[in-house]
Structure 1
């Protein structure tokens, strides 16, 4: 019985994190892409510290991974996450966000940090 409580508790944590529109869109973008903080700053038109805070929360529970390349950190969806199947089911219900990255490419601001 305690195993179910842990599962429910973990599901509630994941749902709470993904219940935030910005974090949900970030995870949807990371479903098929690797992104840098600066790209999210451009997409969401918000501050770097705010974006970093969102990413830290997602990283801390294991939903996203980070990889350092030089002085930059790139984020991707952690498909080896223990509860990835729940995240995947949620993402299947969310519209594609690829157009946001295409807009960055068209504006010349995709990976502006590199």
Structure 2
């Protein structure tokens, strides 16, 4: 009985994280692509520390993973996470967000940090 409560608590934490519009859009994008912190800064027009805070919260629960390349950090969805099957249907039903990356491509700011 204790295990079920822990699982429900973890799901509640995940749903709370996904309740933030910025993190929800991040998760939709990361479900389809690997994205650098600097790209998120450009997409959302907020500071790097603010973006890093959002990403840290998602990483801390294991939903995303990071890979360092020099001084830059790239993020991707952790599809091996035990809760990916739970959040995947939510992400699938969200509107496509790839236009945000296409806008970066058009401006020439996609992966400008690398």
The two structures have a TM-score, normalised by structure 2, of 0.97
SS at match of 2:94: coil
SS at match of 1:97: coil
Residues in 2 aligned to 1:13 and 1:89: alpha-carbon distance in whole angstroms: 17
Shift of residue 92, structure 1, vs aligned partner: 1.6
Shift of residue 74, structure 1, vs aligned partner: 0.3
Partner in structure 2 of residue 12 of structure 1 = 12
Q: Which runs of 5+ in 1 are unaligned?
A: none
Alpha-carbon RMSD: 0.7
Q: Which runs of 5+ in 2 are unaligned?
A: none
Residues in 1 aligned to 2:93 and 2:16: alpha-carbon distance in whole angstroms: 16
Partner in structure 1 of residue 83 of structure 2 = 83
In the alignment, is residue 56 of structure 1 matched against residue 56 of structure 2? yes
SS at match of 2:80: coil
In the alignment, is residue 2 of structure 1 matched against residue 21 of structure 2? no
Residues in 1 aligned to 2:63 and 2:44: alpha-carbon distance in whole angstroms: 20
CA deviation profile, 1:65-96 (whole Å, cap 9, x unmatched): 00011221100000011111112121022111
